[in-house]
Structure 1
């Protein structure tokens, strides 16, 4: 007979929500069994100390939500196991030197947890079933499969083949839980079946070995003292912060009285007040400039709480600052404006021919590093038509943020829910200045058209010629603008097409810069960073699938290789050039001519990213963060094409030209002319 460990659940009579010491004491009383559970996941004392520390804090945080319908111990163990899982994912597993634990660490998550709870914590199957929200019968099946895998992990399970219908009774028989009639039938079968005899004996030996290991296992002396010290230090720090907040509150109260008495409450006080009370530095500046107010709208779904902190609106966009808290686990979520949000009557209240700005997840923001379960973000919506409106925002999906293994970028996993907000918004005015000056950049004409000073951003509108010269600017990257001796840095994601084009000679674009909160200026300095050029240079190269490849040809000062021309289903053409140093082009504009018309092609491209200093980054191998590179260029190295159809024959490679980036150091100083709008905004 196998008897589970004797330490039965002991429920505390009273635990104070405010006193974390009582929770620490409960963990101290149960440290041995909890330590063994932690060891089965982590195999490291340092990690288990971190496990105990996090679990104590999380229990203290969730304690007000505990109910009498579920035992205290079950709730604590649910939290404890959840953090075990998190730490086992965050850290590479250190296998225990003890062979039983090494084998235990290889089990599937649920099988391992059922074994440790029933044979370490002494839980009944009913208690384990309640914790994992499964039936007691499923717990029995998990016990059997867990011990089978444990036996296999110890190198003893390959040669045992008991009868499946009787294997289901092994655990009940060994724990003396079989009713008499079934027990007699089972023993009669075992007496005659040598396979089941060997199988049962081997499994019993594994269970005995496991139980003996647990009984002789002991946690390190003084283990809980380290955990208690960390909790104590944290509590002292929190008390200091509370004292500091009280002191700040007294100072604010004094300042409030002072400014109210002197008549300077508006403006000066708001700058001091928000500098002390608003964590988000970007939002803080808007609030200090009196461009918005705190809202504090909240909605919760599936344990994910979204708070709308504030809205800053102008004629460019409606900028919403939000905060998302995972109240159950340590996940961070963001809102994706392209997936999961709906605005009622959007086209009635918002300007139709505009598109919201894109803001990627900002995991490097100090606030987003502060707490693992809270994300601070912003999203851009279309600008309002009227000065005042209520935005009925419905969100049915948020994106869970997770870094990839290299930590270089963030994966977004959608999770559904339902969050609804009625958001009151007041639009702030913007000021527009006409510039209307044509300049020459890299031999091509550029129209510097308009300057817009808005609360949420500074915008420079410019135009590119619609003609098709031999050298054409496709895109301009600006360095900064200087207005009233203030620099506005360019926004990396800030180039947008102007949909309302009133001059057919030019294609108008808007470059976005950081806000300066300026309303008047008589001049602006424009500094350029780089241009992306399209160069016309025609060349035709005959293709012949009967020839031996690779073959090379010269173009734009480079030697380009035709690696493959193959007729089949599909037909394939591959060209390459891995030499990028001093190469004139970054990518080629070309077409593959075939004997047939109206064919379809599928392309595949490989390349490298090169920063201004010449350092290369392989897009498929090297981890890097694109936003942190200085003036990156993208060089294509291999271009492969599959031509779909019945053995389509490629005849020639027709090159029309190429694209390249030129770095600039140009500066243009322009006078401004205020544009006065009528009541209709024209």
Structure 2
């Protein structure tokens, strides 16, 4: 197999980019634009999205260039940045719409249907020209998996392009197809392979069909070209940014001269207006959370209003920082006694969201607040708040469009049950100013359940206090997936942990550590020198392999032992689809809460599965709750709940798929903690106002 676009992996940093020069970086990208564009097109098939990919990658390369390590090639390093940004952009649905183009090829349409890892491996290997070892290093997977993804990806391409899906080569020889076609087999293995192929009609047809799709893939790539003017658009955006930065620097110089003359006036104005604002907002703002922000001079009070079919929405305030943008609203039903809330995931649109907001973040989940006195005051008015992504710039206008709100339905006890959509049209232009945050280094290393943990950073932002921590992932047999905290003590104030506030940090500088952030209540103070962290529990993933043979001809139920428990296989039924059901209703002293497993079949080891489950939630005191009947209110009041799966039903789509075995690779479990760690802080970043 001939590589289509050979890699130009220079062993050292290109001469033209040895100095931090944005223009030389852009020129280097232009020289490599064809292979990089193909990588972007394989995932987005949308020119504006690929322009965004190039633009962000160029800025990231400029930013990270001083930290470039000569242990890898420059192109490999840039590819790692492109892949990371591509994954971040893929989270933004607005950047994934398909656009047709003159050079649209069927092969790219089918490539777009593959699993993410299959696409990445095919593109990096056959378009960017990396070796399997380099691809494995870049994607952080074993080299043997790269071969597997190449084969399964080519198989899927073959099926999608209509070259047939009914080939049944011998599995022990299928894994050699790619190496044979690329002429990488050692002579003894090659001879053995060719002898088998000569006598096996199934493998002959299977191999020929796979070779045909590789040839078509080659031809499609050879015809592939970058559209005219593409790099011109990217260059223009970079030039505009550089011009804006220069203008901003010039403004800061002018403002420095003005600042000294008004310093005393600002001091006195701050004293008097601060006292006045606390009294003023106490009397005029009903929402206590919004009032607290405004009294601390954080955020902006607003009076925006829109009405549709008797449903009136008022935007009452906006608070923005580096964590999120909080929008406070009030919805009034002027026709009936209904309460409505805004659901960010349904009916909410932001114009040019990708341009004005950070793409590598996700809005915080905020459950309905139906228990507050304010929302029980009137039956036709609901006061709520919505989390949006943080702004890219310090100021901006959010053009918010709503075409749906959710009607809250309560049961007889007034507990929230579910929501019904109510369509309409409400449009707002919300002016927002981003507030500064303060960051402290913690530099604390501990162990939890034998797993190394770093407490890295404390971020004090107006809308949340954030603890950033890292979990070492070099022990595959025992992985710590998540840490749950009880509270955080800062300046002798206890800040409660946000039940829904654990998040994964997209920028992961060290592959041996997974970085997370835990959110706590806001703290309207910026200075601190000591923090106390109280842990609640950890969620562990334990590697423990067991294979259980399945035979539909046997009578069920049948039992087997695993992790100190007896598990019952209730049913193995072959049909359309085939069903496998297994269960364990014993909860007390059970080592595992849920299992990691897959079902191997005679037709295909990688057969897809559809699953359903039953279970119970158990709190720290041992009280059990039905997993399917629990309400958000009950769940939020539970102390450190654990989720036990009791019945798992698996369906194998297809025509009479025959299961061979249930392969368990491990399980998850929760361990309760009562550790308290006291940490000294060190200011590492000044806030944007320049204060500590």
Is TM (by shorter chain) over 0.5?
yes
Supply the distance in 2 between the matched residues of 1:362 and 1:478 (Cα, whole angstroms): 22
Structure 1 residue aligned with 2:208: none
- For 2:213, the equivalent position in structure 1 comes to none
Q: Supply the RMSD in Å over aligned alpha carbons.
A: 2.2
Deviation at 1:277, TM superposition (A): 2.7
| Secondary structure in 1 matching 2:538 | strand
- Contact 1:576/1:637 (CA < 8 Å) preserved in 2? yes
What is the aligned residue count? 421
The range that moved more, 288-297 or 580-589, is 288-297
1:545 matched to 2:552: yes
Superposition deviation, residue 531 in structure 1: 0.8
What is the SS of the residue equivalent to 2:609?
strand
Quote the residue 2:433 is aligned against: 426
The equivalent residue for 2:614 is 606
Partner residue in 2 for 1:70:
none
> Residue 623 of structure 2 is aligned with which of 615, 628, 645?
615
Query: Paired residue for 2:349, among 338, 342, 350?
Result: 342
1:278-293 matches, cutoff 5 A: 278-293=285-300
Q: Which is greater in Rg? A: 1
1:575 aligns with 2:576: no
Is 1:472 paired with 2:507? no
Q: Could you give the per-residue CA deviations for residues 56-79 of structure 1, whole angstroms, max 9, x where no partner exists?
A: xxxxxxxxxxxxxxxxxxxxxxxx
C-alpha contact (below 8 Å) 2:300/2:432 kept by paired residues: no
Could you tell me which of 373, 378, 389 is aligned with 2:385? 378
Q: Which runs of 5+ in 2 are unaligned?
A: 1-267
Report the Cα distance in structure 2 between the residues aligned to 1:490 and 1:575, rounded to whole angstroms. 36
Q: CA deviation at 1:644?
A: 2.3
Residue 367 of structure 2 is aligned to residue 360 of structure 1:
yes
**Partners of 1:283 and 1:666 in 2: CA distance:** 34
The residue number in structure 2 matching 1:669 is 678
Q: Give TM-score, length-normalised by structure 1.
A: 0.59
Equivalent position of 2:229 in the other structure: none
Asked if 2 retains the 8 angstrom alpha-carbon contact of 1:299 and 1:420, the reply is yes
* Structure 2 CA distance for partners of 1:434 and 1:556, relative to 1, 3 Å: same
Shift in CA distance, 563/262, structure 1 to aligned 2, threshold 3 Å: closer
Q: In the alignment, is the contact (CA less than 8 A) between 2:618 and 2:643 conserved in 1?
A: yes
Once residues 327 and 545 of structure 2 are traced to their aligned partners in structure 1, the CA distance between those partners, rounded to angstroms, is: 49
Q: Secondary structure at the match of 1:625?
A: helix
Spell out, residue by residue over 1:221-276, the C-alpha distance to the aligned partner (whole angstroms, 9 max, x if none). Answer: xxxxxxxxxxxxxxxxxxxxxxxxxxxxxxxxxxxxxxxx9995322222222223
Contact 1:306/1:419 (<8 A) preserved: yes
- Tell whether the 8 Å contact from 1:599 to 1:645 is kept in structure 2 after alignment: no
Does residue 458 of the first structure (1) align with residue 465 of the second (2)? yes
Q: TM-score, normalised by structure 2?
A: 0.58
Compute the displacement of 1:345 (Å).
2.3
Q: Superposed, which structure 2 residues align to 1:68-217 within 5 Å?
A: none
Unpaired segments ≥5 residues, structure 1: 1-260
Q: Pick from 630, 651, 658 the counterpart of residue 639 of structure 2.
A: 630
Q: Where does residue 505 of structure 2 map in the other structure?
A: 498
d(CA) in 2 for partners of 1:620 and 1:381? 29
Counterpart CA distance in 1 for 2:567 and 2:328 is 50
- Secondary structure, in 3 states, of the residue corresponding to 1:450? strand
How far does residue 625 in structure 1 lie from its aligned partner after superposition?
A: 2.5
Show structure 1 runs of 4+ deviating over 6 A: 678-681
In 2, distance between residues paired with 1:357 and 1:572?
Answer: 37
Shift of 1:418: 1.6
Q: Residues 336-379 of structure 1, C-alpha deviation per residue, up to 9 Å, x if partnerless?
A: 11222222222222222111111111111111111011000001
Give, in whole Å, the separation in 1 of the partners of 2:490 and 2:686. Answer: 22
**SS of match in other structure, 1:600:** coil
Contact 1:404-1:411 within 8 A present in 2 as well:
no
Is the 2:436–2:688 Cα contact (8 Å) retained in structure 1?
Answer: no
Partner Cα separation in structure 2 for residue 680 and residue 591 of structure 1: 54
Match of 1:485 among 481, 485, 492: 492
Q: What is the rounded CA distance, in whole Å, between the counterparts of 2:689 and 2:413 in structure 1?
A: 52
Aligned twin of 2:648: 639
Which of 253, 264, 273 is matched with 1:266 structurally?
273
